Structure 1
């Protein structure tokens, strides 16, 4: 943990009226899709993994891949807790913030999971830190200052304490994978519900989509699910409309992935993962994970998005909701809950 010597900004008491957190819902659902790509690739696991997958599994694992995982610790036997981090590392922005933070618990017997998402601006004050930070800043702090054991040690400790549950592993996903996966699948066929135009030269965003049923490539699909406002004369979007788009794209991704079984497509999917995913899960455990959760879909995952009130510069979560989320995570590990699809599920 940090010894408290790193200068951290003071908490400011905002006078803003409480409001619901502004969610990066497209990122949250994108992350779910990226996690599930291991399962999607696992559809063809038995035939192709050792032909095209092993190089990418070894590439994304930063663990000592010579170690053996005890049988009782493998994913097909032991319920796992995984800290999921989403990194937007566009070169022209030079960012290292993890704008997606999720805790995932998985039960191998029931083949189900519980996924709790934390807003990136959540007020977090870990033990050992003099002052609070936004949740999305701790990975950058740990990375720059070399805190913790390995690349993920500090953030696993911080968010393990926050959720009162110790992560077995961490997975970092760069959102370039979202585009690469869709391109690997040959695009997704979706209905674009309105014209969309938005340009931001600072980060290279250039959204220009027309209404109608159409095939979108990776870049276009990312634009489709990200679109929120316009500066080129088209109508803005509500969070509800964005959520519908995200569900539509992820459903199509799952359908497309299940329909392909060629070595070329599996190779491209695995390359998208290998180039954009980093984890401290050993290669042997990744293989066990894939085989265990083949066939897992979004309907098998209970999705719990935590929300709160905004008082600049933080989001303050409802403590009762946090405690309920902690309980749900633990119930999943103990096999005491079965997720029921709801309108907040990541895909229909």
Structure 2
């Protein structure tokens, strides 16, 4: 029984690895190895009937869909889309958040936001469109109902989370009411759902929401692996059987269970589809950059090269998730601060603010370190070429590190 419970928790962690909106829940019922599990998608789609289990010598690609419904019986739209790629040979995983406003040309419906693919064609349609955008095949999907997410958080006893901004939003049509204050607080299921869905108060709109979702994933991961969660397996399982659907066969899931004993949390990389928001004919879209997307996919799960390993070896005592960073544009280069922020987030740093500096006269990028730990500044300097480090005394109203991006910054 103890071994069975251990494997059940491992399956739960597998889904934590892939879900990415805050529910990140487990993919299948291990006690029912046949195809009658409540986790199997009952719709008789061509994709479900013909899909074979991927071999262990290639990457496993999964699309996670978080779906909201305006009313009972409503088909819904995929409010959250996350592509997950796991390489069993290197035991590295990459999560790529796809902004729901990403502009696509949808068959029979013209230009649409990518979340409309689910409304018109279901999960298979979402898989097809995301596959086109990323240029890679997708093996399976996992479909999560947001009501299940709320119940999962409540069953875990809530989540402590540092809310990045004041959040106030009401949409009676969706029965969505979000009212959260900035700062650390204990969130219940309804509040957590509001947190991961809120996007109107961020300077970078949906990208800000994605950043919060990714941070919430890490927090939820820590919550689920805590000893207290073991005693809540029964209630969590009940949520999963009612609110999660997947076309991934049970035996395929089980074949990856042992990997969880070997995957290092630091080998889970988070990315966002490259691009920028843009209004077209009065409609807000996210226009993805095809060239940068192709480059990102070419480097998927790529091992660090020797220079990266060497530069990071001196900072093994630094936990990036504990370092609060703000990034300021001081050189006038459009998008430079956001570029640096995304780079640091990829390596696990907690970027709490992206803004402009007081002036645009900075030529050299400055790393202002207030932690009294030189390894912190050196770990960041390894990712930003030609930058200089300035040590300051800790200040209660300022973050651990402030980066002022100068005009000589080169993202390449």
TM-score (norm 2): 0.57
2:105 maps to which of 125, 130, 136: 125
- 1:137 matched to 2:116? The reply is yes
TM-aligned CA distance change 1:186 to 1:55, over 3 Å: farther
Match of 1:12 in 2: none
Contact 1:116 1:325 in 2 (8 A): no
Alpha-carbon distance, 1:82 to partner: 1.5
Match of 2:278 in 1: 310
Match of 1:175 in 2: 146
Q: How does 1:1-348 map to 2 (within 5 A)?
A: 31-32=19-20, 36-38=24-26, 50=31, 58-62=37-41, 73=54, 77-91=57-71, 94=74, 96-125=76-105, 129=108, 131-143=110-122, 152=124, 154-191=125-162, 196-209=167-180, 213-227=184-198, 238=203, 246=213, 249-260=216-227, 264-294=231-261, 296=263, 299-306=266-273, 307-312=275-280, 313=283, 314-329=285-300, 332=301, 336-337=302-303, 342-345=343-346
TM-aligned CA distance change 1:68 to 1:264, over 3 Å: farther
Tell me the matched-pair count: 288
Alpha-carbon distance, 1:338 to partner: 5.2
TM-aligned CA distance change 1:267 to 1:338, over 3 Å: farther
SS in 2 for 1:109: coil
SS in 1 for 2:20: helix
Contact 2:142 2:246 in 1 (8 A): yes
Alpha-carbon distance, 1:81 to partner: 1.4
User: How far apart in 1 are the matches of 2:23 and 2:164?
Assistant: 27
Contact 2:161 2:216 in 1 (8 A): yes
User: How far apart in 1 are the matches of 2:132 and 2:103?
Assistant: 14
User: How far apart in 1 are the matches of 2:249 and 2:241?
Assistant: 14
TM-aligned CA distance change 1:268 to 1:346, over 3 Å: farther
Alignment gaps of 5+ in structure 2: 1-16, 309-319, 321-342, 350-412
User: How far apart in 2 are the matches of 1:136 and 1:308?
Assistant: 17
SS in 1 for 2:138: coil
SS in 2 for 1:58: coil
Structural RMSD (CA): 4.2
**Structure 1, residues 289-344: CA drift from partner, whole Å, max 9, x if none?**
34433565763222221222413234322222222133134xx3xxx435998533
User: How far apart in 2 are the matches of 1:137 and 1:315?
Assistant: 14
**Structure 1, residues 67-95: CA drift from partner, whole Å, max 9, x if none?**
9977xx45x55421122222112426935
Alpha-carbon distance, 1:237 to partner: 5.3
User: How far apart in 2 are the matches of 1:187 and 1:60?
Assistant: 24
Alpha-carbon distance, 1:186 to partner: 1.0
